[in-house]
Structure 1
Amino acid sequence: MRILMGCLSKLSKNYFFYAKKTGCFIKHGHRLPVFQKRSILGIFKFNNQTVRIIMFHDQSEQYLEKKYPPFVAADLNIYNETIGFERVERLKQLALPLERKVWAHVNSTYEGGGVAEMLKSVIPLARGLGIDAQWHCMEAHTEDFFFVTKKFHDLIQGVEQPFSTEELHGVYIDNSLKNFENYTVKADFTIVHDPQPCATSVFGNYEGPKLWRCHIDTTSANKLIWNFFLPFINHYDGAIFTDKSFVKPGVKKPVYQIAPSIDPLSLKNRQLTKAEARRILQPLFEKHNIECGRPIVLAVSRYDIHKNQATIIKAFKQIKEDKEVREKNPLLVMVGNTATDDPDGLAMYGRMEEERENDVDIFLLMNIENNDENIGALMRLANQFVHVSTKEGFGLVVTEALWQGTPVIGSNVGGIPQQVVDNKTGFLVEPFDVEKIKQHMKYLLLHPDEGEIL
């Protein structure tokens, strides 16, 4: 319970307890109506009661969100300095035939995770090119929907666990149907992202061509769950994968390879001097008693089993025993956000608190204020960035760290080797090779000038 309360203290005011026995929601002792829209972020047992962590949504009661976020069209000319005038003009020319066409995106969350992060830049960019870009977001009709889709997500990434026909049909298919009840995505072209909305391809509710885009590493996908998804995938007009090696047997439609991307001019990716980064981070450091000036080993990702945060904590705790490293007095700062479509995040955060064992040099942060600007500043200020996932579709946080000029210790999986050039822009390791991770952590802590070169 202590860990649970510690987790809650780091969440926003929109998170509540749900007591199953009494059937009511509680916030500061006040009961709330049970019909409010909600997402379940975690389930715990306490005093023989099921305690659920809830995130409420302010939108009106509906399933597929009809009001996408109000993004303003981007001025493409601001990218001239970053990518060059010629490339910007080429983009404008390519977009001319698409002017006033509707380009829709469907996913399962507006906040948290790489897809939402990417769409926040793609939508304004497309609108700046004269395309009517839209963003539709699924909602959970039943409170276990995102638990089931997270299980499917893990199965597709090779984490074996049991699943039932009730979860496949009674939860997943029924929720997909409910989202499209009396609703049609009217677009000239639609991209549907990841497994959560994948099954919606068969309901006849998309006007115009539609593609399924898979952002996750499918190389070790559970055969049964992949075969379950195949009919839905083949009902699209094509499929997009981050890497051709992720394409599994049975996909009968055209396949395209497109890497994810970051917006180099977003608040998070604005390139800073170290002095600017320190100024931005001062309120965050003061709030969490983080001592400015000490070298930072940084890790940023969702709290998730595939992100392998426990190995980072283990390696850091061990290198602190090294006399040379101890003289450098480093900190490990780990930052993550929760997402409405990832209900395991809070429980994983609790597990990392246990791994930390009250180590005063390890800071586990969640849902920090001024997230984008603070993350960008941390990336710039860090001595090194560590991302040793066991599965990784691409890893946009690696892109962001490299963009800020921070050397990366990354695992040799998924899309990370596409970004990190071993011994040139960072180091590649096997995900659980603690000795190698420690070796590179120590090298970068003892040789910061070499880190700048990397």
Structure 2
Amino acid sequence: MIPKLEQYATYVGKAQIRKLKEEAKPLKGRHISHINSVATGGGVAEILNSLVLLMNTAGIKTGWRLFKASESFFQVTKKFHNALQGEKINFSARKKRIYLEEIEKNSIMNHFDDHDLIVVHDPQPLAMIKHLKKKQTWLWRCHIDIKHAYPPVWNFISRYIRQYDGMLISMEKYKHSNISIPNFIVQPSIDPLSFKNRDLSQKEISRLLWKQNIDSDKPIVCMISRFDKWKNHDGVLKTYAKVRKKAKCQLVLMGSSASDDPESLQIFADVNHKVKKMKDVTLITHHDDFLVNALQREAKLVYQMSLREGFGLTVSEALWKKTPVIATNRGGIPLQVIDGKTGFIVHSPGQAADATLKLLKNPKLQEDMGAAGREHVKNNFLITRHLHDYLRIFNQYLPAEK
């Protein structure tokens, strides 16, 4: 069943739904499309799977185009992704050529003559604007922290960013002083009606965990992140090794790969090698939103100890399910984890281990943090607030048709 806007009133109230409908009215008759590089895997695809449907149910004709490219292209854009988060790379003429050739191919295959506004997500399709006749508003939505980007890569991509009418970023601190186009702050969100976040009964949770041979009687601590070097699986494994010396528990690592991230297979191989030497660690690699839902509900706590982070929506997913989060202060994580209230901000595996033991030994603290986390997400990080942000920006660029 496709969720209707009215169904979200359960979480945000009828007044907020009425407000969204009013904001959507001036955009009826307009044609909008989002462009990104993957349909599944990663937070961007997950957001678009909900947001595009919700825009249509609100009466706005909204499409979603996928950028199709070779494995070589995604190897290059993964390097770009790392460089934009501060890593030095060998930025060769070959990499530029591969990137620009695939950009040109996709520009030929996509046509937007009858569109009023295009939202391009992240660096992969960014340069399409170079080839397409710009008859409408183009916005670039950047989901990562580019504040300290590697200069050669930044100089290359920023020439395309400047051709856009506006740029959407997740946090004020991600603004770049040498980008003069309008910047808008739009924080990501979760969908409470999605398979990953909707309510589950205890019977459903137990059945899903039983299928994975996970013993619910032993306390679960977990990490749910794609296999990416910035997600810091190694830090979580070091934390768990320290915790196991003082408390009985089990670690569940669940992750998958996005098709635009060819590095992930090597990261998985490294994690798998280390896990084989440890006790009571379960490694799950297939994508299953219901299983993610069950794990985040059953776990005593969730780790998100990223070294770099755009926003980290897995944090809000866990908090929504009343599960405290132990995390680093990277990217948008501190907006979600209020230290000492919805979880703990830590700076080392040792601190993470201490925070873990504190939660495992104090069920009341788990409960209080869980309740605070749920309320925090409800007030700040649900899809309805995300929709409001987009409608506000769209209305600014697209005045009502007469």
TM-score under structure 2 length normalisation: 0.89
Q: List runs of 5+ in structure 1 lacking aligned partners.
A: 1-71
The aligned residue for residue 208 of structure 2 is 280
The aligned residue for residue 184 of structure 1 is 111
Taking the TM superposition and a 5 Å limit, the aligned residue runs for 1:355-366 are 355-366=274-285
Give 1:100 shift.
3.0
CA-to-aligned-CA distance 1:82-129 (integer Å, 9 cap, x gap): 110000011011101111321100000001011000001001100110
The aligned residue for residue 149 of structure 1 is 77
**1:373 aligned counterpart, secondary structure:** helix
Taking the TM superposition and a 5 Å limit, the aligned residue runs for 1:7-406 are 74-140=3-69, 142-168=70-96, 170-186=97-113, 187-205=115-133, 207-283=135-211, 285=212, 289-322=213-246, 325=247, 329-368=248-287, 371-406=288-323
Contact preservation (8 Å) 1:74, 1:127: no
The aligned residue for residue 3 of structure 1 is none
Contact preservation (8 Å) 1:180, 1:205: no
- Runs of 4+ residues deviating >6 angstroms: none
**CA distance in structure 2 between the aligned counterparts of 1:101 and 1:148, rounded to whole angstroms:** 35
**CA distance in structure 2 between the aligned counterparts of 1:125 and 1:175, rounded to whole angstroms:** 30
**CA distance in structure 2 between the aligned counterparts of 1:303 and 1:367, rounded to whole angstroms:** 12
Q: Which amino acid aligns with 1:309?
A: H
**CA distance in structure 1 between the aligned counterparts of 2:327 and 2:172, rounded to whole angstroms:** 21
**CA distance in structure 2 between the aligned counterparts of 1:113 and 1:229, rounded to whole angstroms:** 22
* Correspondent of 1:442 among 357, 374, 388: 357
**CA distance in structure 2 between the aligned counterparts of 1:143 and 1:341, rounded to whole angstroms:** 8
1:453 and 2:382 matched: no
**CA distance in structure 2 between the aligned counterparts of 1:237 and 1:291, rounded to whole angstroms:** 53
Q: Which amino acid aligns with 1:442?
A: L
Give 1:343 shift.
0.7
The aligned residue for residue 426 of structure 1 is 343
The aligned residue for residue 58 of structure 1 is none
Q: Which amino acid aligns with 2:128?
A: T
Contact preservation (8 Å) 1:306, 1:390: yes
**1:333 aligned counterpart, secondary structure:** strand
Q: Which amino acid aligns with 1:407?
A: P
The aligned residue for residue 16 of structure 1 is none
**CA distance in structure 1 between the aligned counterparts of 2:32 and 2:3, rounded to whole angstroms:** 16
The change in CA–CA distance for 1:182 and 1:78 in structure 2 (over 3 A counts) is closer
Which of the pair has more CA radius of gyration?
Answer: 1
Q: Which amino acid aligns with 2:279?
A: V
**1:282 aligned counterpart, secondary structure:** helix
CA-to-aligned-CA distance 1:361-389 (integer Å, 9 cap, x gap): 11111124xx1111111111100000010
Contact preservation (8 Å) 1:391, 1:413: yes
**2:71 aligned counterpart, secondary structure:** coil
The change in CA–CA distance for 1:205 and 1:346 in structure 2 (over 3 A counts) is farther
Contact preservation (8 Å) 2:33, 2:62: yes
Q: Which amino acid aligns with 2:352?
A: I
Contact preservation (8 Å) 1:184, 1:205: no
CA-to-aligned-CA distance 1:338-360 (integer Å, 9 cap, x gap): 11101111111001012224323
Q: Which amino acid aligns with 1:160?
A: K
What fraction of aligned residue pairs are identical, expressed as a percent?
Answer: 37
**CA distance in structure 2 between the aligned counterparts of 1:394 and 1:122, rounded to whole angstroms:** 17
Contact preservation (8 Å) 2:329, 2:346: yes
Q: Which amino acid aligns with 2:119?
A: I
Give 1:217 shift.
1.2
The change in CA–CA distance for 1:184 and 1:205 in structure 2 (over 3 A counts) is farther
**CA distance in structure 2 between the aligned counterparts of 1:376 and 1:206, rounded to whole angstroms:** 42
Give 1:273 shift.
4.6
Give 1:317 shift.
1.3
The change in CA–CA distance for 1:172 and 1:79 in structure 2 (over 3 A counts) is same
TM-score under structure 1 length normalisation: 0.79
For the aligned residue pairs, the C-alpha RMSD in angstroms reads 1.4
**CA distance in structure 2 between the aligned counterparts of 1:452 and 1:91, rounded to whole angstroms:** 33
Give 1:271 shift.
2.7
Give 1:183 shift.
2.9
CA-to-aligned-CA distance 1:160-185 (integer Å, 9 cap, x gap): 222201101x1001110011125313
**CA distance in structure 2 between the aligned counterparts of 1:182 and 1:395, rounded to whole angstroms:** 33
The change in CA–CA distance for 1:266 and 1:206 in structure 2 (over 3 A counts) is farther
The aligned residue for residue 399 of structure 2 is none
**2:15 aligned counterpart, secondary structure:** helix
**CA distance in structure 2 between the aligned counterparts of 1:280 and 1:207, rounded to whole angstroms:** 50
The aligned residue for residue 21 of structure 1 is none
**1:144 aligned counterpart, secondary structure:** helix
The aligned residue for residue 409 of structure 1 is 326
